[in-house]
Structure 1
Amino acid sequence: MKKNNTAIWQMLIKKELLVIYRNKTMLISTVMIWTLFVAAAICTYLDYQSAHKQRIEANTIFSQQWAHQQRNPHDAAHFGTYLFKSINLLNVFDTGLNDYTGNTYRIEAHVQHEPDAANAEGNDSSMRFGRLTLALILQLLIPLLILFITATSMTTEKEQGTLKMLLAQGLSTSRLIWVKVISSYLFIVTVVLPIFLLMTMMLLASPGSDILLTRLLWMILAFLLYFLFIALLGILISAWSGNSGKAILTALSCWILMSIISPKLLTGIADHSYPPMSRAAFTELVEQGYRKGLNGHDPYAERGERFVKNILKNYHADSVSELPFNIEGLTFQYHEDYRNMVFNHYMAQVAQQFDKQQNFLTIAGVFDPFISIKRISMALSGTDYYHHQYFFKQAQTYRNHLIKKLNLQLAMHSKDVKGEYILGPKYFARLQNFDDQLPPIHHVIQLNQIGLYAIAGWILLLAALLQFIASRSLARYYELA
């Protein structure tokens, strides 16, 4: 009996796949999707090669400039250098926020910078339309194809008169619906499987594939879940609709609302509800906090004098000439530490607003799975807000450590030097290079687990609704239609 049941399922699924295969519109759509994927894959790889080459060249130039200088340590800190966010193939698979948040960090004494030099600056087409990426096709075009396949699957049976015939032959409504779901999903998996294989091969041929492969596998799993959700949604629309025209219109409306209108609307609400301060206001607050103190009553000059007096008191010295080190270097570092404290104080306020925006969008993703899959895709590609902040914190830590090292070098080694204390290339070449790392994958998954649960929850909800529609009480509707 079980073998006979399995054979019936296989026969029905094979029949549905043949119907989809013989549909010229579906075949043309599939060819167009694959063509776009090949074009996007080529553009992605070329973008990666170009960006990777530019980063290497820029790093080489600034490293050489830094290592070959002959300067006083504090002058070298003012001369500074640039740090560049590392790039991998997944970054260009889904560019996310990378085009807008900047990938360059300036190191300079007495000034705390933020990542800058965003690719979208001065690029009107990038600002308006973004770029054709593999993620864009997976997020927008594949779901549209799924909806066109599934939205008319039940209505076509009814319009052609085959639904009554199938039910009359003893085929249950439940089995018919789930055959439609399984066959449609298998077809889509067949369409996207070559794409996922291509992505995997491209990734294995790139540096750091051992770390990135786990991220890609999680991404593939997330997209497969999302495609199952879309397939269930399309079948549900088809089951509820009276005719194919109405089903197509409903499906297209759902796609536009879920993928275009809702993300724009909810992002605007998040920005309006939790507006961060402007960069000009932030810069002014940092400068005033440094000059007048965080409390507004601790001026720069008084802080410096108090610091020197405390040092003299601790060393039981009457003047700075009696100290065993150059007080200038320690004073530089004291003011540097205070500026860092002020910067971090106001940056925490800015970050708090951005965190609220991110939390709002996470909750919004529960009601709109497209937002969830988009955020998951950016997170696993390393191009979301969290990865931007992760790079910024690493760069800031490196910058603070480097400036401190140079100031302490001046303090501890220039006391008895006649004339100006100069360091040469031998010293600067020994300083540690910046090497930013990706956050652990389990942290990324943890931050996006609500999105994954949301998609899984929608799948269960739609499956339950389909099962309800397929119940005997509603089967009569199809028999009488």
Structure 2
Amino acid sequence: MKKLQSELLIAKHLRQSVFKNKAIFIITLFIGILLLYAIFSGWENFKNQNETSEKYQHESREDWLKNPDKNPHRMAHYGNFAFRKSTSLSVFEFGMEPFFGNAIFLEAHKQNTANFSEAGFSNSMLRFGEISIAMVLQVLLPLLIFFIGFNSIAYERENGTLKILLTQGVNWKQLLIGKALGIASVIMMLFIPTLIILVLVWLFLQNFTITADETIKMLLFIVFHLAYLLFFCVIAVLISAISKTSKKALITLIGIWLVFTIILPRTTQAIGGYIFEAPSKIQFNSAVEKDILKQGDSHNPNDPHYKAIKDSLLRAYKVDSVQKLPFNYSGFVMTEGEKISSRIYNEHLAELLQVYKKQNSFSKAVSFLNPYIAMKNLSMGLSNTDYESYIDFQKQAEEYRYKMAQKMNALQIKYISNKKPSAGEKPYSISKEHWADLEDFHYEAKPIAIVLKNEIISIISIILWITLLFILIRIAAQKLKAI
């Protein structure tokens, strides 16, 4: 108990002395203002994106249902839209959302990628990143921690008070922990009010009706960010303890911050993309089209693959022309063509995703060298703004597109005659009431179990870093000298 009192007394003394430095006060005030702006920015971003998505998803559905009686294959080519709504946690972490599109046009025989990203309509300044709560917590608060903690022990050594402290019964372990708690208490003055506001915003955005899944994500977001900030508090104190002067401590800590938050993340992305090179969009689409043509062209009546299908159907039904088949032959061919094109596309996509997976795995592996990368990946995963969420949206949209195309093909097979309309006769069509048989698209965010599975490396990395710090504190308490 006496030891704890000593640590708390050291922490209290540091907290009281911090704001005597006007520069620290101004920096803290500036970051506090940035946090308020980030909350407002996140709120506006979430509200605007979801209102836009809901509006155009509704309009797309209305346009689909308002189509008149027509051939169902024409409806398949008329197409539909899939929109991706943001989750409530994206208020805190924008992640990759500004750079990935949130809408996909769905049509028969063709797989499109997401479009209408925020970056696509912004200037180059967006490349530097938007100000989000996560960015402030992960990048700016560690820098503030370093400014507060660089002289926490180095200054005591410089002015000779370190010897006095150690001779008055305070040991190195108490001193290190007390100083770290003091820095943490200053940071909590920003962190705790921010969390209170964020939780209220988070509840309000969901009309105070929350799910267990979202609650767990929110709690993990808070716990891991708290651990992340405490990690930097300990780093600041340890570097200050081993440095002979405050100046050396500050230079070292700024170097660590630059490596963690700027140099390593950018370098990791570049190296990952270089080692595991992915084909361009043009190369990918060309390869898909080439393989589809090798398999057969469903729109070419003389294509060998589909001619063989036609001959087998004629033999099976013992007729001499497709007009005499008991179902619509064109619809049958379109169904087969959709199966083939979708299978080939998915095979190529799986290969492409494997390349991206290797790139991301390289980045995640580097998180064992950089806690910032681990925290960033976990934060984006919990907020549903990471790469895996984008791919999940693409897959859900493709499943819906395939279902839509095959639904229309099935209606054509069942209701459209094989006989060609005579001169002056209207093209064959079916009632528009059938369009309502296709359900609207609804995007489902990844559940917490999938997020934890995807980010297990990041979680392990953060735990290992925290464990390492406890070990370093014990070692430092035994090895450090007052001089």
The answer, yes or no, to whether TM exceeds 0.5 is yes
Q: Whole-Å Cα distance in 1 between the matches of residues 63 and 275 of structure 2? A: 45
Letter of the structure 1 residue corresponding to residue 50 of structure 2: H
Secondary structure in 2 matching 1:359: helix
Q: Whole-Å Cα distance in 2 between the matches of residues 60 and 26 of structure 1? A: 50
Aligned twin of 1:465: 472
Q: Whole-Å Cα distance in 2 between the matches of residues 92 and 309 of structure 1? A: 59
Report how far residue 50 of structure 1 moved.
1.6
The equivalences for 1:168-179 within 5 A come to 168-179=167-178
Aligned twin of 1:113: 112
Secondary structure in 1 matching 2:81: strand
Report how far residue 420 of structure 1 moved.
2.8
Aligned twin of 1:46: 44
Q: Whole-Å Cα distance in 2 between the matches of residues 299 and 227 of structure 1? A: 66
Report how far residue 280 of structure 1 moved.
0.6
Is the CA contact (8 Å cut-off) linking 1:102 and 1:116 kept in structure 2? Answer: yes
Q: Whole-Å Cα distance in 1 between the matches of residues 268 and 47 of structure 2? A: 35
Report how far residue 406 of structure 1 moved.
0.3
Deviations 1:257-288 (A, max 9, x none): 11101110110000111111111111111111
Q: Whole-Å Cα distance in 1 between the matches of residues 198 and 8 of structure 2? A: 31
Q: Whole-Å Cα distance in 2 between the matches of residues 442 and 307 of structure 1? A: 45
Residue 65 (structure 2) aligned to one of 38, 46, 67: 67
Letter of the structure 1 residue corresponding to residue 303 of structure 2: A
Is the CA contact (8 Å cut-off) linking 2:108 and 2:402 kept in structure 1? Answer: no
Aligned twin of 1:30: 28
Is the CA contact (8 Å cut-off) linking 2:7 and 2:177 kept in structure 1? Answer: no
Letter of the structure 2 residue corresponding to residue 301 of structure 1: D
Q: Whole-Å Cα distance in 2 between the matches of residues 247 and 216 of structure 1? A: 35
Report how far residue 159 of structure 1 moved.
2.0
Is the CA contact (8 Å cut-off) linking 2:11 and 2:180 kept in structure 1? Answer: no
Report how far residue 307 of structure 1 moved.
1.8
Question: Structure 1 residues 333, 226: CA separation in 2 closer, same or farther (over 3 Å shift)?
Answer: same
Aligned twin of 2:372: 370
Secondary structure in 2 matching 1:118: coil
Worse-superposed segment, 396-405 or 309-318 = 309-318
Is the CA contact (8 Å cut-off) linking 1:45 and 1:89 kept in structure 2? Answer: no
Is the CA contact (8 Å cut-off) linking 1:83 and 1:107 kept in structure 2? Answer: yes
Question: Structure 1 residues 126, 67: CA separation in 2 closer, same or farther (over 3 Å shift)?
Answer: farther
Letter of the structure 1 residue corresponding to residue 64 of structure 2: W
RMSD between aligned alpha carbons?
Answer: 2.1
Q: Whole-Å Cα distance in 2 between the matches of residues 26 and 130 of structure 1? A: 25
Report how far residue 212 of structure 1 moved.
2.9
Aligned twin of 2:322: 320
Question: Structure 1 residues 234, 10: CA separation in 2 closer, same or farther (over 3 Å shift)?
Answer: closer
Is the CA contact (8 Å cut-off) linking 1:73 and 1:422 kept in structure 2? Answer: yes
Letter of the structure 1 residue corresponding to residue 56 of structure 2: A
Report how far residue 335 of structure 1 moved.
0.8
Secondary structure in 1 matching 2:119: coil
Aligned twin of 2:191: 192
Aligned twin of 1:182: 181
Letter of the structure 2 residue corresponding to residue 364 of structure 1: V
The equivalences for 1:296-445 within 5 A come to 301-415=303-417, 419-445=426-452
Is the CA contact (8 Å cut-off) linking 2:151 and 2:240 kept in structure 1? Answer: yes
Is the CA contact (8 Å cut-off) linking 1:200 and 1:213 kept in structure 2? Answer: no
Aligned twin of 1:157: 156
Aligned twin of 1:273: 275
Is the CA contact (8 Å cut-off) linking 1:372 and 1:455 kept in structure 2? Answer: yes
Is the CA contact (8 Å cut-off) linking 1:81 and 1:108 kept in structure 2? Answer: yes
Q: Whole-Å Cα distance in 2 between the matches of residues 206 and 425 of structure 1? A: 37
Letter of the structure 1 residue corresponding to residue 17 of structure 2: V
Report how far residue 187 of structure 1 moved.
2.6
Report how far residue 300 of structure 1 moved.
8.0
Is the CA contact (8 Å cut-off) linking 1:293 and 1:300 kept in structure 2? Answer: no
Report how far residue 355 of structure 1 moved.
0.6
Q: Whole-Å Cα distance in 1 between the matches of residues 144 and 344 of structure 2? A: 52
Q: Whole-Å Cα distance in 2 between the matches of residues 380 and 53 of structure 1? A: 22
Normalization by structure 1: what TM-score? 0.93
Aligned twin of 2:11: 13
Q: How many residues align?
A: 471
Secondary structure in 2 matching 1:105: strand
Aligned twin of 2:101: 102
Is the CA contact (8 Å cut-off) linking 2:42 and 2:91 kept in structure 1? Answer: yes
Question: Structure 1 residues 19, 300: CA separation in 2 closer, same or farther (over 3 Å shift)?
Answer: farther
2:139 paired with 1:143: no
Q: Whole-Å Cα distance in 1 between the matches of residues 463 and 87 of structure 2? A: 29
Secondary structure in 2 matching 1:439: coil
Question: Structure 1 residues 299, 127: CA separation in 2 closer, same or farther (over 3 Å shift)?
Answer: farther
Letter of the structure 1 residue corresponding to residue 450 of structure 2: H
Letter of the structure 2 residue corresponding to residue 175 of structure 1: Q
5+ long unaligned stretches in structure 2? none
Deviations 1:75-108 (A, max 9, x none): 0111112111112332242222222221111111
5+ long unaligned stretches in structure 1? none
Report how far residue 115 of structure 1 moved.
1.6
Report how far residue 221 of structure 1 moved.
1.2
Structure 1 ranges of 4+ moved more than 4 A: 416-419
Report how far residue 160 of structure 1 moved.
2.6
Is the CA contact (8 Å cut-off) linking 1:68 and 1:429 kept in structure 2? Answer: no
Letter of the structure 1 residue corresponding to residue 72 of structure 2: P
Deviations 1:303-352 (A, max 9, x none): 11122223334444443233221111111111111111111121122111
Letter of the structure 1 residue corresponding to residue 276 of structure 2: Y
Report how far residue 127 of structure 1 moved.
4.0
